[in-house]
Amino acid sequence: MAALQTVQKIGPVLDLFTVARPEWGVSEVSAAIGVPRSSAHALLASLVDIGLLQCRSRGRYRIGWRIVELNETLQGTVDVKTCAATILASLSERFGETTHLAIMERYRVMYVDKVVGNQVINVSGARIGAHLDAHCSAVGKALLAHRHPGEIERNLLNAPLKRYTASTITNPAELTRELKAVLRHGCAFDTGEAVADVNCVAAPIRDEMGVVVAAISITAPANRFVAAQQEFRRAVIAAAGAVTKSLSESVAGESVGDTQVSTLHAIAG
């Protein structure tokens, strides 16, 4: 039991290390995760031992090089990011808008890839590696809609939903209705819910077993988005289907590149 409790604390410790704050001390970690200083020190020392953290001068800790090794291992496998890359770029090129690829990590969205649009007035979009609450984004709602309602209740609706703009859905019943609509329509919308005057549409990507593992989206300023909303919707659903096919066929041993060439026609209009 003690070992399990230790493992459960590792995630919150690693979550502390961000681009904005890459370095932490023992006392700071202790206060941030609510454990005694001795426990925080033991956790940090264990993470240093396995290379996930490194101890700098004056007892300060940073992310360790083992993370880089693990990332290289991940990149060396055929994953959804690899399968989506060409399709993500093609979708952005077609409309000149920013496109994103995102996954769900502990009921928060993590952006794993993006292509910035080429419009004069453009949306730069979320930084790769950034996290965002799922309830206020199109990719988040596309992913949430395919989770069990009981899991959503336990992991998302057990605390107040944060408001980002005047349009953010913060009522649990309203969010539940929204997620049911996502299932009916096959896509999710963000109408200025994360960033005012920025709209988005996203569709889910499935693995070879039919499980939703990621979502792909188009993001644009609200004035351009509204005018092309239905075209964006059709294109993003087709793109998600193309990535799903690419992902499934890559697992079956077929060439990702060949699969993408054959499916790009689905989003070419």
Q: Which residues contact 210 (CB under 8 A, 6 or more apart)?
A: none
Q: What is the pTM of this model?
A: 0.70
Residue 90's CB: how many other CB atoms inside 10 A? 21
Residue ranges covered by each domain of the chain: 2-69, 77-267
Rounded distance between C-alpha atoms, residue 11 and residue 106, angstroms: 10
CB-CB contact of 29 with 16 (8 Å)? yes
Architecture of domain 2-69: Orthogonal Bundle (1.10)
Tokens at residue 52, please? Answer: 């996930």
CB-CB contact of 193 with 169 (8 Å)? yes
Per-residue model confidence as pLDDT tens for the chain (269 residues): 445 456 677 888 998 998 889 999 999 999 999 999 999 999 999 999 888 999 987 889 999 888 766 765 555 555 899 899 999 999 999 999 999 999 988 788 999 999 999 998 889 888 898 889 999 999 999 999 998 888 888 888 888 999 999 999 999 999 999 999 999 999 999 999 999 999 999 999 998 888 899 999 999 999 999 999 999 999 999 999 999 999 888 766 655 555 454 445 555 55
3-state secondary structure of 165: coil
Element housing 117 (H / E) = none
Phi, psi of 143 (to 5 degrees): -80, -45
The CATH H-level superfamily of 77-267 is GAF domain (3.30.450.40)
3-state secondary structure of 129: coil
